[in-house]
Copies of this chain bind each other. A is one copy, B any other.
Amino acid sequence: MIAKRSIFEHMLSKKTKYGIKALIYLSKQEDKTPVQIEAISKSENISRKFLESILLTLRKNGFLGSKKGKGGGYYLIKDPVDIKMSSVMRVLDGPIAMVPCVSLNFYEKCDDCPDENACAVHNLMVEVRDSTLHIFNNKSLADLIK
């Protein structure tokens, strides 16, 4: 009874998806009062501990600020307009797409491919990379919430 997978199934890891949802949640807050993990977790149906690690990553990478102790929590420290989806996805990593030989930031040569300029698969994936990146580069958190 396992549903067959589509070619689009795992572009977005749960980690990244949850991260974006948390960012959306935080950007909808009226003021910049810290919000507790628990609140976001419940509202968005995300495992408390898993979300904790995700928010930690977002904080360490300059998206969120935090406050410890009573009344503590997380809050956005960037303007949603300045948070590009591509940067969020890079930070939360998760394998989203394609082959390493096509990566701009973390290029890696394919073991099997002697000449990638002559590799038709490579060139196809470059095309997909560019179109996808174009979308993620031009979509901000602010765009997502409107």
Contact = CB atoms under 8 A, between A and B. Distances in A.
Contacts of A18: 112
A59 interface: no
A11 B144 contact: no
B121 A132 contact: no
A4 interface: yes
A98 B120 CA distance: 23
Number of copies: 2
Contacts of A31: none
A58 B125 CA distance: 21
Interface string A113-132: 11000001101110111011
Interface residues of A, number: 57
A123 B21 CA distance: 12
Given A7-B97, A9-B98, A94-B7, A127 B121 contact: no
A17 to B, nearest CB: 5
Given A12-B98, A12-B121, A112-B46, A90 B135 contact: no
Interface of A: 3-12, 17-18, 20-21, 24, 44-46, 85-86, 89-90, 93-100, 102-106, 108, 111-114, 120-121, 123-125, 127-129, 131-136, 139, 144-145
10 contacts: A7-B89, A7-B97, A8-B96, A8-B102, A10-B95, A11-B98, A20-B121, A96-B97, A121-B144, A131-B131
